[in-house]
Amino acid sequence: MERKWWTLVVVCAATFMLLLDVTIVVVALPDIKTALGASFSQLQWVTDAYALALASLLLTSGSIADKFGRRRIFSIGLVIFTLGSLLCGVAQDPVMLIVSRALQGIGGAALFSTSLALLASTFHGRERGVAFGAWGAVTGVSTALGPILGGVLTTGVSWRAIFLVNLPIGIVALLITWKMVDESRSPHARRIDWPGVISFTAGLVALVYGFTEAGQRSWSDGVVVGSFIAAAVLLVVFVVIEVRADEPMFDLSLLRIPTFTGGLIAAFAMNGSLFAMLLYVVLYLQDGLQYSALQTGLRLLVMSGCTMVSATLAGRLSEKMPVRWLIGPGLIIVGVGLFVMAGLDKDSSWTHLIPGLIVAGIGSGLVNPPLAATAVGVVDVHRSGMASGINTTFRQIGIAVGIAVYGTAFSSQLSSSMRENPAGGTRAAYAEALNTLFWISGAVALLGGVAALLLIRSRDFVPHGPAPTPDARGDSSSEGASAPAVA
């Protein structure tokens, strides 16, 4: 097999591994809670630590790779991600697991930001389309398979297996990278915006920490109020830095393009509604209805299967119709699906969720394939890498903020239900708490859909010519590489 196809193999393997970890961990959280004695807020951080690290460093990792070498940064990302997986697998307490998940996210940012650039510098012409198509298929399959694989490993082996399974994949991928992948750099690499990275990361962490702690303390607690004030100050500082920077990591002028802004809102709403809700659906199925991790994963296949089918249809339709008519209605359908899932009571079985899971899954599939076009399709090719990265960053922020906000509402409603109706038991309390979240998350999806319909416009899209031809060394800026954004 030619060297270039080995590049595709290793990039797809790494992408499968890092995106699998976004969803595979969800069904194992109840087992992790029991084994490590984790609190409810610590369970939220097990997911949020990964998403925040990925969101915070995604844009900067691309600039670092352009400057110092994509194969080098990709290899470092593999080492960090694999090491983080090992530490997660042997974690002895919740804090160690959370820190290790953040380490995974750092490695994941390096991997994700360099994957498309490696493909763009290796493949050209029709072969580039084949490579990007294979990569896109892997992103969809890995996200959909996460819950079921997590259930199989957690029930059949241990929750630790969902992390340790990454070790052989990471080691083999690293060996192939060193032996078969060519190095490439960009002759137009941007300077690294360290002030922007630090202020953005600190602001996000403070914001999510405030929402998470509000559920355990109170909205008026000094720590919570202080976290929100710190988040506001840090994010304002970030905006000032980006406005004044010669080479910002986030070109704020892109927000003047209505379609780009609409795409960011849609990305945030998609992940901040349905995908953030998965954690609480899993808790209900396992803690409320007493299903095992495997049984939970199998039940979530109802949604995953519908998503894959509708995503295939959306991929074809996006070439024939304006993407606003896929993204906007898709998000509205997701919202309707979440509303349909509401109405649980202490006697409800999991079958109550089936219609809503089907509807939400169909809507999700309509949104995801065309969403990247709202980012890369409205900018010139030299800024498409930044635009795609920003869109993906907003997806991860949606997950992190959504989990934190829903966690506050969930814990508040749960304790209130247990206090007011102790005879109803845990099952009734979980049902009432989950109903509240379905209404909130459904509203988020609906608002995102309306924003997409109002802001995404066909006239904002710019024509793109053939992809730039790399120079003799195979250099091709990661800013010229784009592909569907992922969850």
* Angstrom distance (rounded) from CA 303 to CA 268: 20
Residue ranges covered by each domain of the chain: 3-193+247-480, 194-246
Q: pLDDT at residue 420 above 90?
A: no
Report which DSSP code applies to 69: -
In three state form, how does the secondary structure of 197-211 look?
HHHHHHHHHHHHHHH
Report which DSSP code applies to 28: G
Report which DSSP code applies to 189: P
* Angstrom distance (rounded) from CA 184 to CA 13: 20
Q: What is the dihedral angle through the alpha carbons of 154, 156, 157, 159, rounded to the nearest 10 degrees?
A: 10
* Angstrom distance (rounded) from CA 442 to CA 269: 10
Residue 358: predicted pLDDT: 95
Cα–Cα nearest to 116, from 485, 478, 486? 478
Residue in the structure block whose two tokens are 């010669």: 246
Residues 158-177: what's their mean pLDDT?
92
Q: Which CATH superfamily includes the segment(s) 3-193+247-480?
A: MFS general substrate transporter like domains (1.20.1250.20)
* Angstrom distance (rounded) from CA 370 to CA 311: 9
Residues 403-420: what's their mean pLDDT?
82
Residues 6+ apart with CB under 8 A from 352: 341, 343, 344
| 477 within 8 A of 186, measured Cβ to Cβ | yes
Residues 253-267: what's their mean pLDDT?
92
Residue 85: predicted pLDDT: 95
* Angstrom distance (rounded) from CA 112 to CA 21: 13
Cα–Cα nearest to 450, from 291, 262, 292? 262
| 119 within 8 A of 7, measured Cβ to Cβ | yes
Query: Quick check: helix, strand or coil at residue 481?
Result: coil
Q: C-alpha angle with apex 14: 13 to 18, nearest 5 degrees?
A: 120
pLDDT band at 150 (very low <50, low <70, confident <90, very high): confident
Cβ-defined contacts of 299-303 (< 8 Å, 24+): 299/350, 299/353, 300/27, 300/147, 300/148, 300/357, 301/147, 301/148, 302/354, 302/357, 302/358, 302/361, 303/357, 303/358, 303/360, 303/361, 303/364
- The one-letter code for the residue type at 61 is S
Query: Which pair of tokens denotes residue 372?
Result: 């990247």
Q: pLDDT at residue 222 above 80?
A: yes
Q: For the chain, give the mean pLDDT.
A: 84
DSSP-assigned states of every residue in 392-431? HHHHHHHHHHHHHHHHHHHHHHHHHHHHH-GGGHHHHHHH
Q: pLDDT at residue 450 above 90?
A: yes
Residue 446: predicted pLDDT: 97
Residue 365: predicted pLDDT: 86
Q: pLDDT at residue 340 above 80?
A: yes
Phi and psi, residue 478, nearest 5°: -65, -15
pLDDT digits (tens, 9 = 90+) for 182-194: 787 766 667 788 8
| 357 within 8 A of 300, measured Cβ to Cβ | yes
Q: How far is C-alpha 412 from the chain's CA centre?
A: 26
Q: How large a percentage of the chain has pLDDT more than 90?
A: 35
Q: pLDDT at residue 277 above 80?
A: yes
Query: Quick check: helix, strand or coil at residue 277?
Result: helix
